[in-house]
Amino acid sequence: MEFKNVANVKFVEGGVCAAKGFRANGIQCGLAHAGASVTKKKNDLALIVADTECTAAAVYTTNKVKGAPILVTKEHLKNGKARAVIVNSVNANTCNADGVEKANMMCELAAKELGISPEDVIVASTGVIGQVLPIEPIANGMKELAEGLTYDGNARALEAIMTTDTRKKEIAVEFEMGGKTCTMGGMLKGSGMIHPNMATTLTFITTDAAISEELVQLALSDVVKITLNRASVDGDTSTNDMVCVMASGSAGNKLVVNEDEDFGKFRNALYAIMMNLARMMARDGEGATKLIECSVSGADSDKTAETVAKSVICSSLFKAAMFGEDANWGRILCAVGYADADFDINKVDVKIGSEKGVIDVCKNGAGVDFSEEKAKEILSEEVIEIIISIGAGPGSAIAWGCDLTYDYVKINGDYRS
């Protein structure tokens, strides 16, 4: 699946190592589930480190149950500074009596190898909830992890954060700010337990742009609402969701401290990163075969449009129809109709589209004649567009989801094995 273009950015290689002064690594330290074969074992511990202190910001899950790493990271980021990220997969370190202790130990172990303060380390975990995190494999692997840090270690780090993910999700862009070429890169894990709510995933973003911690937080809190918070796989909001950004300033641009033109360029680059990661996450929903992009226009506000778009991508019946490549537009209109928003259903138009074309399936709240053969051809593609108009207002929004397949149940039926 290709990246979706955004004006004034250039896609480059390198993920979280694309920006100047960031190293990464990932290793297999031994956290793999008991009984997993050697061939199934993968990297399970990752480290991202900046050469210099960074301004940093994060957003977190809104689930009342929060993983211990989130509690620790929140404390560490109170000063808006960070230098490194340590993250493990396999075990979420959530709902454990010693969870905070273990999360702090991960920071201390990383800090000792890097020669920095534990308070400058962001910590994250993903995997099974409610199982005690064994710290010994992490402690035993930390030296190897730190010694293997390289400026092109992004792929190793990315593998280490994956759980049920089947596709690697990383991206990097170049953009101009203050007369300097800046770079921003990101990596994401997320395939199941994904629902529109703050963060919805583990995402780590690095940039060499110079910008204040207040504006990094402002940009992140703003952009997450129109990207990751509009992606859904299964209606479940995770306990460990986190998106963090570290900005090193190594690009040499003048520090951005006001909401000016340069801030707009930074926000635009962040949107390019997070929007494309959201699309990749939705496409890699557990068992998914299709990415569904639902755009809504003509609403009285962007919020109304967002509510309608989310309602459609979250409909299990609609998602199942997309898996079956069935142009059952009634399921779309049903999901539009129960959205918690005010609009005239008699003004709703619906189109379905893909690279194979676009056709009308509903006009003014009622069906229209269309070719079932053409509709089947359109829905056979990997990326499906649902285009909805609900009136003549200025509001619009896009949300991303995936189809619902047999494999989703298979994957989640034996997640712990």
Per-residue pLDDT of the chain (417 residues; tens, 9 = 90+): 679 999 999 999 999 999 999 999 999 999 965 444 444 578 999 999 999 999 999 999 888 888 999 999 999 999 999 999 999 999 999 999 999 999 999 999 999 999 999 999 999 999 888 999 999 999 999 999 999 999 999 999 999 999 878 889 999 999 999 999 999 999 999 765 556 665 558 999 999 999 999 999 999 999 999 999 898 876 666 777 899 999 999 999 999 999 999 999 999 999 999 999 999 988 877 778 999 999 999 999 999 999 999 999 999 999 999 999 999 999 999 999 999 999 999 999 999 999 999 999 999 999 999 999 999 999 999 999 999 999 999 999 999 998 888 777 776 676 554
In DSSP notation, 201-244 reads: SEEEEEE---B-HHHHHHHHHHHGGGTGGGB-SSS---SS-EEE
The pTM assigned to this predicted structure is 0.90
Please indicate, yes or no, whether residues 133 and 27 belong to a single structural domain of this protein. yes
Would 360 be classed as within a structural domain?
Answer: yes
Residue 393's CATH number: 3.10.20.340
**Gap between the Cα atoms of 199 and 228, Å rounded:** 6
Which residue in 61, 94, 183, 200 is the catalytic one? 200
Please indicate, yes or no, whether residues 120 and 227 belong to a single structural domain of this protein. yes
**Gap between the Cα atoms of 213 and 79, Å rounded:** 9
Residue that terminates a domain, selected from 283, 317, 343: 283
Burial class, 183, CB count within 10 angstroms (exposed 0-12 / middle 13-18 / buried 19+): buried
Which of 111, 116, 51, 65 minimizes the C-alpha distance to 86?
A: 111
- Which amino acid appears at position 21 of this protein? G
Residue-range definition of the domain harbouring residue 18: 10-283
CA atoms within 13 A on the CB side of 166: 12
By DSSP bridging, strand 45-60 and strand 22-27 are antiparallel
Strand, coil or helix: 150: strand
Tokens representing 149 are: 């840090």
Q: Has 52 been annotated as catalytic?
A: no
Please indicate, yes or no, whether residues 307 and 259 belong to a single structural domain of this protein. no
Q: What is the dihedral sign for C-alpha 77, 107, 54, 62?
A: negative
Which of 49, 45, 47 minimizes the C-alpha distance to 29?
A: 45
Please indicate, yes or no, whether residues 307 and 400 belong to a single structural domain of this protein. yes
Please indicate, yes or no, whether residues 272 and 328 belong to a single structural domain of this protein. no
Would 341 be classed as within a structural domain?
Answer: yes
Please indicate, yes or no, whether residues 345 and 234 belong to a single structural domain of this protein. no
**Gap between the Cα atoms of 276 and 296, Å rounded:** 19
Would 188 be classed as within a structural domain?
Answer: yes
**Gap between the Cα atoms of 311 and 230, Å rounded:** 10
Total domains in the chain come to 2
Residue that terminates a domain, selected from 243, 263, 283: 283
Would 374 be classed as within a structural domain?
Answer: yes
Residue that terminates a domain, selected from 283, 300, 316: 283
Would 1 be classed as within a structural domain?
Answer: no
Q: What residues pair up with 187 in beta bridges, in sequence order?
A: 170, 204
